[in-house]
A and B are shown apart, each in its own frame.
Chain A
Amino acid sequence: MSRPEGIRSSRRSLQVKFVPDEDVLKHISDDAGTKVRKDKAQLSVSVKRFVKKLENISDNEAQEILEEKNYVAALGICAQDPVGNGSNISGGEVYSFQTPKRSNKMAELASELAQTPEQNVAPDHSKCPEKMAKTPQSSTMFLLMHVFSLLFQSKKREFVSTTPYRLRKRLAAPDPYLESESEYSASCSEEEDEEEQKEVSTVLSDQKTPAKTKAASTPPPRNSLAKKIKEPKMGSLVEEYFEAHSSSKVLTSDRTLQKLRKRRLNQQTLHDLLKNAPLAYAAEIRDLNQQHESLFSKWMLQLHLGFNIVLYGLGSKRDLLEKFRTSSLQDSVHLVVNGYFPSITVRSILNSITEEVLDHIGTFRSPLDQLEFITKRFKEDSSLELYVLIHNLDSQMLRGERSQQILAQLSSLPSIYLIASIDHINAPLMWDQAKLSLYNWLWYETTTFNPYVEETSYENSLLVQQSGSLAFSSLMHVLHSLTLNARGIFRLLAQHQLEKKDNPSYPGLSFQDFYQQCREAFLVNSDLTLRAQLTEFRDHKLIRTKRGADGVEYLLIPVDDSTLTDFLEKEDEDV
Chain B
Amino acid sequence: QIQEDLNKQLLNNLVSFLSRSHSDFQEKTTEWTCRMKFREIPTAALVLGVNVTDHDLTFRGLSDVLQDNITPYVALLEAKDCPGIKNLMQKLMGQLMNCDIDVDPLEDEDCVQISQNRIRCSMSSLISWYESVTKKTDSETPSKKRNSSSRHWQSPPVVVIFKDMESFTTKVLQDFIVISSQHIHELPLVLIFGIATSPMIIHRLLPHSVSSLLCIELFQSLSCKEHLSTIIDKLLLTSQFPFKLGEKVLQVLINIFLYHDFSVQNFIKGFQLCIVEHFYSQPLSVLCCHVVDIKKRVYSLSHDQCENIRRLPSFRRYVEKQESGKQIELLTNDSFLKEETEKLLKDLHVYHENYVSILRCLHVFTSSLPKYPLGKQIRELHCACLENRVWETEEYESSLQLARMLNKTDLVTMLQQCVEILMSSSGKEFDRTVEKLKEFLTQFQNLEAEVSQERDVSVSSQKELQKKTDLYHLQKTLLELKESRRSKKLTKFEMLRFEVVDYIDSLVRRYLVPADDRTLHEIVYFNAATVLRGHLNAAPRTALHTALNNPHWYLKNQALKCDGGGISNKAPDICIVYKLHLECGRLINLVDWLEAFSTVVMAAEEPNAETASSDQVDDIIHARFIRAVSELELLGFIKPSKQKTDHVARLTWGGC
Contact = CB atoms under 8 A, between A and B. Distances in A.
- Same complex for A and B? Answer yes
Interface of A: 3-9, 79-80, 82-83, 85-87, 89, 91, 93-101, 103, 105-116, 118, 120, 128, 130-131, 240, 244, 250-260, 262, 265, 269-270, 273-274, 276-277, 280-281, 284-285, 287-288, 298, 301-302, 305, 307, 312-315, 368, 405, 422-428, 433-434, 436-437, 440, 442-445, 447, 449, 451-452, 455-456, 459-464, 504, 561-562
A86 B592 CA distance: 30
A5 B656 contact: yes
B517 interface: no
B589 A253 contact: yes
Nearest to B649: A250
B114 interface: no
Which of A93, A252, A274, A464 has most chain B Cβ within 10 Å?
A252
Interface size class for chain B? 35 or more
Contact of B586 (A111, A244, A257, A443): A244
Contacts of B599: 107, 110-111, 113-114
A101 B565 contact: no
Given A280-B570, A312-B543, A444-B535, A305 B272 contact: yes
A428 B604 CA distance: 36
A479 B4 CA distance: 72
Contact of B540 (A112, A131, A287, A428): A428
Interface in B271-286: 272-273, 276, 280
Contacts of B587: 250, 252
8 smallest CB-CB distances across A and B, nearest first, come from: A5-B565, A443-B538, A114-B603, A110-B596, A437-B53, A314-B547, A86-B546, A130-B564
A70 to B, nearest CB: 19
Nearest to A8: B656
A446 B631 CA distance: 17
B544 A313 contact: yes
B592 A255 contact: yes
Interface stretch (B202-210, B435-443, B639-647): B639-647
Given A82-B565, A251-B585, A301-B280, A315 B622 contact: no
B269 interface: yes
A315 B557 CA distance: 17
Contacts of B261: 433
A281 B565 contact: no
Contact of B4 (A5, A253, A256, A305): A305
Contact of A131 (B266, B564, B602): B564
Which of A118, A130, A244, A288 has most chain B Cβ within 10 Å?
A118
B549 interface: yes
B574 to A, nearest CB: 7
Contacts of A462: 590, 629, 633, 640, 646, 648
B59 to A, nearest CB: 13
B547 A113 contact: no
Interface string B536-571: 111111111111111101111101101111111110
Given A106-B580, A288-B554, A6 B565 contact: yes
Contacts of A109: 579-580, 583, 596
Interface of B: 4, 51-53, 80-81, 261, 263, 265-266, 269, 272-273, 276, 280, 530, 534-551, 553-557, 559-560, 562-570, 572-574, 576, 579-597, 599-600, 602-604, 618-620, 622-627, 629-631, 633-637, 640, 642-648, 650, 652-656
Given A95-B654, A313-B543, A281 B555 contact: yes
B624 A118 contact: no
A27 B190 CA distance: 87
B612 to A, nearest CB: 12
B646 A445 contact: no
B629 A463 contact: yes
Contact of B631 (A265, A298, A433, A451): A451
A425 B544 contact: yes
Given A254-B644, A312-B540, A445-B540, 20 more contacts: A4-B582, A82-B565, A86-B545, A89-B545, A94-B545, A100-B585, A103-B585, A109-B583, A113-B569, A116-B603, A250-B585, A252-B647, A256-B645, A270-B623, A284-B556, A287-B556, A301-B280, A405-B80, A433-B51, A452-B630
Given A83-B565, A113-B576, A314-B574, A442 B535 contact: yes
A354 to B, nearest CB: 19
Given A110-B580, A110-B600, A314 B622 contact: no
20 contacts: A8-B656, A82-B656, A83-B564, A91-B542, A93-B656, A94-B542, A98-B585, A106-B583, A110-B599, A116-B569, A244-B653, A250-B587, A274-B624, A281-B557, A312-B540, A312-B544, A425-B636, A443-B537, A447-B554, A459-B634
B631 A452 contact: yes
Contact of B572 (A120, A280, A425, A442): A280
A115 B654 contact: no
Contacts of B581: 106
Nearest to A88: B542
Given A96-B654, A113-B603, A442-B273, A79 B568 contact: no
A265 B633 CA distance: 18
Given A253-B592, A425-B635, A462-B629, A113 B566 contact: yes
A424 B604 CA distance: 29
Contacts of B640: 460, 462
A463 B625 contact: yes
Contacts of A314: 543-544, 547-548, 554, 574, 635
Nearest to B55: A434
A449 B560 CA distance: 14
A477 B619 CA distance: 29
Given A128-B564, A463-B590, A113 B600 contact: yes
A274 B627 contact: yes
A275 B635 CA distance: 22
B620 A277 contact: yes
A305 B656 contact: no
Given A265-B622, A433-B53, A101 B535 contact: no
Contacts of B596: 106-107, 109-110
B555 A285 contact: yes
Nearest to B538: A443
Contacts of B546: 83, 85-86, 89
B15 to A, nearest CB: 13
Contact of A94 (B594, B623, B655): B655
A451 B266 CA distance: 35
A449 B564 contact: no
Contacts of B642: 504
Nearest to B555: A284
A128 B564 CA distance: 8
Contacts of A428: 540-541
B555 A288 contact: yes
Contacts of B579: 109, 113
Contacts of B539: 87
A36 B588 CA distance: 38
Which of B546, B580, B581, B593 has most chain A Cβ within 10 Å?
B546
Nearest to B261: A433
A260 B625 CA distance: 15
Given A285-B555, A443-B536, A89 B542 contact: yes
B538 A451 contact: no
B559 A118 contact: yes
A82 B581 CA distance: 18
Nearest to B568: A116
A86 B553 contact: yes
B357 to A, nearest CB: 33
A95 B589 contact: no
A284 B557 contact: yes
Nearest to A131: B564
Contacts of B530: 87
A107 B627 CA distance: 20
A290 to B, nearest CB: 13
Contacts of A437: 52-53, 263, 265-266
A281 B269 contact: no
